[in-house]
Amino acid sequence: MPKKGFDLLLAALARTAAPPPLVIAGEGPERAALTAQAQQLGVDLQLPGHVAPAAVRDLLHRASLLVLPSRRTPQGDRDGLANVILEAMAVGVPVLTTTAGAATDGLDHGRTGWLVAPEDVPALAAAMDRLLSDPPLTAALGARARARVEHRFNLEVNSTMLARWLRAHHAR
């Protein structure tokens, strides 16, 4: 999907000091174009296709960083708070994304993740270089992201809050 910005990710990765292999899980109509772009740029791209939920967790546990360079398409399509961002945060993987979607609802720049402007390939590359070369920073981002998910997206906590709200508003 164009709104995911994977073409931008490939372009940025090619600009990094030591590009790690890139894994993009899932299916989509951009597969051939992304494969061609990766070959042209010399980026090690792995496209495993559809990945079962347990395998997604395995991929995340092996990841150094989750990068989702979302953009707003000319038609206005954009990401909400993508599930993969919350999944990465839940396992303590640092997240780098853009301000184009609703990631700011889940991430605080420099505290629980890293945000760059959409469509800014040089900024995306610089952020990847910074995060991949600073293990203490990425460890801190990942730990705080996990704590945030455990607190803000906890089903039991949120269900209790919703039940209280419903009781309060039903009693009126």
Question: Does residue 120 contact residue 15 with C-beta atoms inside 8 Å?
Answer: no
Nearest CA to 56 among 96, 94, 87, 20?
87
**80, pLDDT greater than 90:** no
**22, pLDDT greater than 80:** yes
Domains defined for the chain, CATH in brackets: 2-170 (3.40.50.2000)
Q: Which pTM was predicted?
A: 0.87
- pLDDT class for 77, splitting at 50, 70, 90? confident
**148, pLDDT greater than 70:** yes
The average confidence (pLDDT) of the chain is 91
Token pair in block for residue 72: 């707003």
- pLDDT class for 172, splitting at 50, 70, 90? low
- pLDDT class for 168, splitting at 50, 70, 90? confident
Give the C-alpha distances (Å, rounded to integers) separating 68 from 22, 23, 53, 115, 159.
Answer: 12, 12, 18, 10, 29
